[in-house]
Amino acid sequence: MIDEKYIAETAFTLPRAYFVSEEIFRAELEKIFFEKWICVGRAEQIDAAGKFFLYEIGDESVIVLRDYENTLRAFYNVCRHRGTRICHEANGKFARTLQCPYHAWTYALDGRLVGIPDPLETPNLNKAEYPLHRVALREWEGFVFLNFSHAPQSFEQAMAPLFAGYFDAWQIGALRAARRIEYEVQANWKLLAQNYNECYHCPLIHPALEQLSPHRSGDDVLMDGTILGGYMTLNTDVESMSIGGHVCAPPLKQVARDDLQRVYYYSVFPNTLISLHPDYVMCHTLQPLAPDRTRVVCEWLFEPATMAQEHFDASPAVEFWDMTNRQDWHACEVSQLGVKSRAYTPGPYHGWQEALLAEFDRQVLKALEA
């Protein structure tokens, strides 16, 4: 567990290079994003056979699809003939096969090479030896996680706290996205994750949030390891985090007792942020693009039966968090400008209010040293 005395007295922010160095950024891609389980989207994005989306990070491109056996699969977007990228659309639907646009090598949706032009010219070619290269895939509660490692740690072991009951009441796998917003933030991905893991900044940056849920309320639940977070309490006259503080839907079916007056905020290392409200779940996924640039996808998840009702309206929750997101992104961009300065040196974390940030940094350094 975190030693709070250590945090209060000796924990400092990371040096400048961790936010601006191209070399460290490339090392993070290799050691973290290509070795750890990373969230790349929701299974509902590919809810029918043949549907796919591309996920791109660093120099890699991956086709994530649902085959005709209803199995989710992920393949490197690389033809086994001469390496051409097979797919260029961000998303869509394949028929029964994928075909390379260069020489028409053709693959089934399970990755098998099933056809090549002029097969008589290569009579000794064994198609079974040239399937698309797989990327390890695991679905958890509707989230799709990939691992690029040749020998990935099991998802259950790497993400053990996800299976310890903290998320069960929200039944996230049964929820669907009412809204999805993509942002591009001119800041290092770690600054965004760190910003999420503290509310020390909330009174100044988020006055509307502070009116609904005071920054000193609540407590941390998970304080070390790959999953960090805890809860903040809602004021007695507040039902949820939204414009006006009212719920947008009935409470999720198994959310009860104290959880009706709490919002839980968890970061799943390295790139997933999950916020559990009484009536909905909000999630962010971070996609590092450069040392000073990050794409963020934010989704608001509700029960499908609730969304089907005539007067359902998610906009109070969406508008509240879109406003809050943009406030956060601006703060992170200003931080990025500051840490780029030659005058920047690591500063002390502020006691227990920033304890999770020091643990997040430890996870980064641990991965880079592996």
pLDDT tens-digit readout, 11-60: 899 999 999 999 999 999 999 999 999 999 999 999 999 999 999 999 99
Q: What share of the chain in percent tops pLDDT 70?
A: 97
First to last CA, the chain: 21
Q: Is the pLDDT of residue 294 over 70?
A: yes
pLDDT of residue 10: 63
Q: Is the pLDDT of residue 7 over 50?
A: no
pLDDT of residue 135: 98
User: What is the DSSP secondary-structure string of 218-256?
Assistant: SEEEE-SSSEEEEEEEPPTT--SSSTTS--SSSPPTT--
Residue 351 confidence class, pLDDT cut points 50, 70, 90: confident
Q: Where in the chain do CATH 2.102.10.10 domains reside?
A: 38-152
230/130 Cα distance (integer angstroms): 47
Q: Is the pLDDT of residue 3 over 60?
A: no
Encode 33-71: b = buried (16+ Cβ within 10 Å), e = exposed.
bbbbbbbbbbbbbbeebbbbbbbebeebbbbbbbbeeee
pLDDT tens-digit readout, 175-189: 999 999 999 999 999
238/115 Cα distance (integer angstroms): 61
Q: In terms of CATH architecture, what is 38-152?
A: 3-layer Sandwich (2.102)
Q: What share of the chain in percent tops pLDDT 90?
A: 93
pLDDT tens-digit readout, 228-243: 999 999 999 999 999 9
Given strand 38-42, what is the order of strands in its sheet?
A: 38-42, 143-147, 136-140
Residue 8 confidence class, pLDDT cut points 50, 70, 90: very low
Contact 245, 261 (CB under 8 A): no
The pTM (predicted TM-score) of the whole model is: 0.95
Q: Which CATH number fits domain 4-35+162-369: 3.40.50.300, 2.60.40.10, 3.40.50.450, 3.90.380.10?
A: 3.90.380.10
The answer for residues whose C-beta is within 8 angstroms of residue 129's C-beta and 6 or more apart is: none
Contact 232, 285 (CB under 8 A): no
334/204 Cα distance (integer angstroms): 14
- How much is the mean pLDDT over the chain? 95
283/177 Cα distance (integer angstroms): 10
DSSP lists the bridge partners of residue 65 as: 52, 73
Q: Where in the chain do CATH 3.90.380.10 domains reside?
A: 4-35+162-369
